[in-house]
Amino acid sequence: PFLNLRAQYILRIARQFKMQSSAISNISDWRKPYAERNQLEDLLHSIPAPAPYTVWLRWFEQGTAIIKETNSPNEPNQMALATATRDGCPSVRYVLLKGHDERGFYFYTNYSSRKGKELAENPRASLCQYWPELNRSIRIEGRVERTSAENSEAYFRSRPLPSQIGAAVSPQSQVVPSRDFLEDRRRELDARVSQGESVARPESWGGYCVLPTSYEFWQGQRDRLHDRVRFRRRQDLTEEEMRMAQPAEGDWVCERLAP
């Protein structure tokens, strides 16, 4: 009887595990319904359309507000950064947006990291920001330039001391022997700082600016018939493409894309 009970228990657990595994693995059925929104129509009804940076700023402010209102764990300035090698092998990771203006979008990292090496070979990048609370995302593509040493130094000095120490002791993207290797380096620098030594910005650490050549604004819609509006520089379009485009402020044009 004991063996029968044990066998029944094991069988029941196996069935539950199978059901749970099936539910987890069948991701093709996962689907989140989006509310109907028409936030992009004003971009196409005003002539000329606003400049894309103006639209980006409005969306960024709205995304920041909803994240604060809902106590969301998301960071409003998080963004995926995609880079590629000279021969086109891509890589992507999340970074934090640390500055913006009409010229471009700024982030900071180690120039010797994988992204730094790829940007040295191929100075182009794509950014993607996503606010699930609003069913919105923005893609930005463009050329990438390093910021000045003065700009990098100013931002480095604005960081909390632990972040300065972390940047100074980490050979980002390089293979290290263990976690203890990093902790030992941090403790060593901590000790020197406690004796009054300042943390020097590594020469291999600094900023980049993504100079946009295109923006794409995506608004999720019910039944997946989403809204997509793209801005490109007028000089980058052919005559045929210009026929479908709408003028926007500055040297930009606005296009609707099928989802």
The answer to the question of residue 79 being in a domain is yes
The answer to the question of residue 24 being in a domain is no
pLDDT surpasses 60 at 21: no
Mark whether 232 is an active-site residue: no
Crossing angle of the two packed helices 161-169 and 149-158, in degrees rounded to 10? 130
The answer to the question of residue 180 being in a domain is no
The pLDDT tens digits for 228-253 are: 999 999 999 999 999 999 999 999 99
The answer to the question of residue 49 being in a domain is yes
Distance CA 137, CA 218 (A): 5
Question: Whole domain around residue 234: which residue ranges?
Answer: 36-164+205-256
The answer to the question of residue 28 being in a domain is no
Q: Give pLDDT, residue 50.
A: 92
Q: Which two tokens stand for residue 97?
A: 């947006």
Beta bridge partners of 212: 142
Distance CA 195, CA 138 (A): 46
The pLDDT tens digits for 35-49 are: 665 566 666 667 788
Q: Give pLDDT, residue 107.
A: 98
Distance CA 252, CA 217 (A): 14
The CA angle 118-121-127, to the nearest 5 degrees, is: 45
Give Cα separations from 4 to 13, 17, 66, 111, 157 (angstroms). Answer: 14, 20, 56, 64, 69
Q: Give pLDDT, residue 59.
A: 94
pLDDT surpasses 90 at 90: yes
Looking up residue 210, the CATH number of its domain turns out to be: 2.30.110.10
The answer to the question of residue 173 being in a domain is no
The answer to the question of residue 2 being in a domain is no
What's the total number of domains in the chain? Answer: 1
The answer to the question of residue 138 being in a domain is yes
Q: The whole model's pTM is what?
A: 0.84
Sign, Cα dihedral of 156, 157, 162, 166: positive
Q: Give pLDDT, residue 27.
A: 75
Measured in residues, the chain has a length of 259
- Which one is catalytic: 124, 201, 224, 232? 224
